[in-house]
Structure 1
Amino acid sequence: MSQKPGIPKGTRDFGPVEMAKRNYIFNTIREVYALYGFRPIETPAMENLSTLMGKYGEEGDKLLFKILNSGDFRTAVTPEDYGSESAGRLASRFCEKGLRYDLTVPFARYVVQHREELQMPFKRYQIQPVWRADRPQKGRYREFYQCDADVVGSDSLLNEVELMQIVDEVFTRFGIRVCIKLNNRKILTGIAEIIGAADKIVDITVAIDKLDKIGLEKVNEELRAVGLDQAAVDKLQPIIALSGTNEEKLATMREVLADSEIGLKGVEEAAFVLETLKASELNNPIELDLTLARGLNYYTGCIFEVKALDVQIGSITGGGRYDNLTGIFGLPGLSGVGISFGADRIYDVLGQLDLYPRETQSGVQLLFINFGAAEAAHCLRLAAVARQNGIATEVYPDSVKMKKQMAYANALQVPFVALVGETEMAEGRVALKNMITGEQQKLTIEEVLEAIKAAR
């Protein structure tokens, strides 16, 4: 017996029911992005390694999937390369391309490459898969989707305001209660200055960003391990533990950061976003969280994360302002801000809270039973009418026992089954069975359409 085929670790198949749910997520996000004037783009699954390497740090470079050059890839390799202890050097000879690690760096490359064609500010959204050669584990995959939206070519904080409105609208549509968390990297830089550790800003943000996962004691251990003395760690404690309303936190930080120009600038940027959003009457709370740091070092201004309130899970959306991402490709000074929805985590949250609309459970709303050639031909005409009215309809292709056809309808969770035999054909009617209630009645095709539409 031949071995059963499989798929690579860290990847998944999605069946029809799963795809219906995933498309519900993607379509909802896509609709909201479009409402705010964002336009779609797509970039290739593979990029030149020269585009990707060095953009994600040393660890990120190790997680890039590299693609062997086509043809005889060994021709570019010298005996010295084979003798080298550097796996990276050998890989660079074998491979010129790699699978994209995220959507942000390819987007930066896109902006620089197409700069003369773009109208600034440029608002784009992108919903595509990315790949990381990570160790697969629960909730972490080697292939997964990102749902990004970015605005480049504008320094205005109104962009941050709009992105928070988008976040609120998307999760309101999903029915997921969330808390939107906001901070500013300039505030974190100011904090590093006032505790006398300005050169440790990256280490401080990386450590603070782990607070929810490892707790305060472990964070303090990490801070000491990267070279902060105990006095600096002690100064940080009341800031990390700061509580109260957004206004109270802002007032405190204005006092704490009084001697830090960059820190005060961050406070005012955060204050503007929070104050402007008050007039929007968001459906979900937004909170200034001074422990929010975001791990990526290219963020330079406002940063945000979204946490689900009714499910224990990590961040389900994140993003922030970056001032010079395109500088890595020779176009310095082009500011941008963006967000990314975590589709896979949102999928899990919607499932745990049972929030998927009923129509995502089955694509077919009406199934015609097949009683024979003449009846099937008649049902094909009726099915065409139903489809013209926006009702997803099937005619069972084989004239087999009705028990088998009904089992098919139950397996696909089809809500309505139409039975049309000789009697119904003569009467110009359809015996419509509601598979949920078990009720059956004879109706005209117009009445069938109304009944199905009313049940949606």
Structure 2
Amino acid sequence: MAKPGIPKGTRDFSPVEVAKRQYIMSAIKHHFELFGFQPIETPSFENSDTLMGKYGEEGDRLIFKILNSGDYLKKATEDFLTNRDSGKLTSQISEKALRYDLTVPFARYVVQHQNDITFPFKRYQIQPVWRADNPQKGRFREFYQCDADVVGSTSLWQEVELVQLYDNVFSTLGLNGATIKINNRKILSGIAEVIGASDKLIDFTVALDKLDKIGEDGVKAEMLAKGLTEEAIEKVQPLFNFTGTINEKLDKLAELLAASEDGTKGVAELRFICDNVAAAGLGKSILDLDVTLARGLNYYTGAIFEVSAPKEVALGSIGGGGRYDDLTGIFGLKNMSGVGISFGLDRIYLVLEELGLFPETVTEGTKVLFTNFGEKEALYALKAINKLRKEGIKAELYPDAAKIGKQFQYADKRAIPFAVLTGETELADNTYTLKNLASGEQEVVTFEVLAERISWTL
């Protein structure tokens, strides 16, 4: 019989890994709620028409489709089957898909429940998403997103607070030196306008966003392949080496985009956000204006964010987001602006692991194991265990009356520091024999002393 396995791009998590992941999620959730965000959850899968067409051509290809129940080929057109027309066939055999992110399902949620929501609505979600991507380090087909969004307000103070939210979470995790990169889609639209490529905006931004991956020559080649002219690419040249402070970059952009109303507005929005973040102050994170940042999702309309790990770690983004003025409009709810960010749990995990930033206490498990010498002794032990648990001490009873060596071996493999022996003598004297499994020392104690000794090491 073949050994069982799991699909490529998915993972099992050990108890230690789960504890570390929960540590990160707990820190993120804590700050979400400190900033006034409320939790919601949405289904793992949505109707296909809810998701398709919302992420651009590249995103649509990465959506996992779910085959219809039963005989899914029954309604398929014979011509589509014969000609292997997968595009048209898919809509006939698959009506649902796994969610690609949490933002589009959130937009659907807002429209569907708009009469029950108080706006501005601040929500957070911590749930898994799925993408049919090519698995590699830090990139999986199933992974968690941790999102915070506000809908029903156009105020740029939301963007200011979202930058602070990133910084607060990273400070709690001890993750210093993360770079919060910011740009604005209006600036990208303005650039496309002034170089005469407004009709190629999506192609232009998708290519520009790949600068750090394929380099200047690669971006230029892709732009040419997408139909941008040599003249237009020449005008873009300054963006490939756009340096200076945030204010210096904004001044350069203001000059470059003076003829573009959209671009000028984007510069003003960025200046407001960056000035107020600087005035409010950040902890150990860095805010930087990256004019090549495009975030290849079609629904962003204003500020866009992407967070890079500290320079010591060679990894992609660990977070991102932006402003989307039109997202709920595609579901029939007009004039509902929103802005949100996402934390990449899996990549943050890898960063903390590589930098050794997980506290030792995160993976601490059972503190004391009570050995089992039989039914009467086990019941006596269980009563003490219940008292310890009420005091917040992790304690457990070995389930079987096995040889004492086997029970100690179990405690050693579980890294449990203490064992308590409750045999006939202890039962008769109402005492406990406490054994330090690291030093081998043991003593006969009352319950009060037992609890005190174990509490010292918490």
User: Shorter chain as normaliser: what TM range?
Assistant: over 0.9
Instruction: Tell me the equivalent position of 2:86.
Output: 87
CA distance in structure 1 between the partners assigned to 2:220 and 2:29 by the alignment: 41
Cα deviation digits, residues 39-69 of structure 1 (max 9, x gap): 1111111211222222233343333322232
CA distance in structure 2 between the partners assigned to 1:219 and 1:311 by the alignment: 24
Deviates more, 1:363-372 or 1:428-437: 428-437
Instruction: Tell me the equivalent position of 2:308.
Output: 307
Give, in angstroms, the shift of residue 420 of structure 1.
Answer: 3.7
Q: How does 1:3-402 map to 2 (within 5 A)?
A: 3-177=2-176, 178-283=178-283, 284-309=285-310, 310-402=312-404
Q: Which amino acid aligns with 1:308?
A: A
Give, in angstroms, the shift of residue 168 of structure 1.
Answer: 0.8
- CA 1:290–1:366 in structure 2 vs 1: closer, same or farther (change >3 Å)? same
Give, in angstroms, the shift of residue 433 of structure 1.
Answer: 4.0
CA distance in structure 1 between the partners assigned to 2:87 and 2:191 by the alignment: 38
Instruction: Tell me the equivalent position of 2:406.
Output: 404
CA distance in structure 2 between the partners assigned to 1:444 and 1:160 by the alignment: 58
Q: Is the 8 A contact 2:180 2:307 kept in 1?
A: yes
CA distance in structure 2 between the partners assigned to 1:299 and 1:94 by the alignment: 31
Q: Is the 8 A contact 1:386 1:392 kept in 2?
A: yes
Q: Specify the SS of the correspondent of 2:317.
A: coil
CA distance in structure 2 between the partners assigned to 1:77 and 1:218 by the alignment: 41
CA distance in structure 1 between the partners assigned to 2:440 and 2:223 by the alignment: 65
Q: Is the 8 A contact 1:154 1:336 kept in 2?
A: yes
Q: Is the 8 A contact 2:80 2:86 kept in 1?
A: no
Q: Is the 8 A contact 2:323 2:339 kept in 1?
A: yes
Q: Which amino acid aligns with 1:132?
A: R
Percent of aligned positions with the same letter in both sequences? 57
CA distance in structure 2 between the partners assigned to 1:91 and 1:229 by the alignment: 36
CA distance in structure 1 between the partners assigned to 2:250 and 2:454 by the alignment: 54
Deviates more, 1:160-169 or 1:360-369: 360-369
Cα deviation digits, residues 170-200 of structure 1 (max 9, x gap): 1111111212111111122222223333333
Cα deviation digits, residues 148-170 of structure 1 (max 9, x gap): 11111110111111111111111
Cα deviation digits, residues 268-307 of structure 1 (max 9, x gap): 2112112222243211221122222211121111111111
Deviates more, 1:397-406 or 1:419-428: 419-428
Q: Which amino acid aligns with 1:46?
A: F
Deviates more, 1:214-223 or 1:168-177: 214-223
Q: How does 1:434-449 map to 2 (within 5 A)?
A: 434-435=436-437, 440=442, 442-449=444-451
Unaligned runs of 5+ in 1: none
Q: Which amino acid aligns with 1:347?
A: Y
Q: Is the 8 A contact 1:361 1:413 kept in 2?
A: no
Q: Is the 8 A contact 1:362 1:412 kept in 2?
A: no
Q: Which amino acid aligns with 2:236?
A: L
Q: Specify the SS of the correspondent of 1:247.
A: helix
Q: Specify the SS of the correspondent of 1:383.
A: helix
Instruction: Tell me the equivalent position of 2:421.
Output: 419
Q: Specify the SS of the correspondent of 1:319.
A: strand
- CA 1:436–1:282 in structure 2 vs 1: closer, same or farther (change >3 Å)? farther
Q: Specify the SS of the correspondent of 1:76.
A: coil
Cα deviation digits, residues 350-382 of structure 1 (max 9, x gap): 111122222332432222222333332221111
CA distance in structure 1 between the partners assigned to 2:278 and 2:439 by the alignment: 46
CA distance in structure 2 between the partners assigned to 1:174 and 1:428 by the alignment: 45
CA distance in structure 2 between the partners assigned to 1:440 and 1:250 by the alignment: 69
Cα deviation digits, residues 17-44 of structure 1 (max 9, x gap): 2211222222221121111111111111
Deviates more, 1:137-146 or 1:76-85: 76-85
Cα deviation digits, residues 294-346 of structure 1 (max 9, x gap): 11121111111111113110000100001101122122221111111111111
Count of matched residue pairs:
455
CA distance in structure 2 between the partners assigned to 1:280 and 1:451 by the alignment: 46
CA distance in structure 2 between the partners assigned to 1:436 and 1:123 by the alignment: 49
CA distance in structure 1 between the partners assigned to 2:271 and 2:435 by the alignment: 59
Give, in angstroms, the shift of residue 5 of structure 1.
Answer: 2.2
Give, in angstroms, the shift of residue 349 of structure 1.
Answer: 1.2
Give, in angstroms, the shift of residue 438 of structure 1.
Answer: 5.7
Q: Specify the SS of the correspondent of 1:151.
A: strand
Cα deviation digits, residues 201-246 of structure 1 (max 9, x gap): 2222212211211222222322333333344333323333222222
CA distance in structure 1 between the partners assigned to 2:124 and 2:235 by the alignment: 41
- CA 1:180–1:226 in structure 2 vs 1: closer, same or farther (change >3 Å)? same
Q: Which amino acid aligns with 1:306?
A: V
Give, in angstroms, the shift of residue 427 of structure 1.
Answer: 5.5
CA distance in structure 2 between the partners assigned to 1:437 and 1:374 by the alignment: 29
Q: Is the 8 A contact 1:84 1:90 kept in 2?
A: no
Unaligned runs of 5+ in 2: none
- CA 1:435–1:222 in structure 2 vs 1: closer, same or farther (change >3 Å)? farther
- CA 1:355–1:426 in structure 2 vs 1: closer, same or farther (change >3 Å)? farther
Q: Specify the SS of the correspondent of 1:316.
A: strand
Q: Specify the SS of the correspondent of 2:323.
A: strand
CA distance in structure 1 between the partners assigned to 2:77 and 2:236 by the alignment: 53
- CA 1:71–1:404 in structure 2 vs 1: closer, same or farther (change >3 Å)? same
CA distance in structure 2 between the partners assigned to 1:438 and 1:208 by the alignment: 63
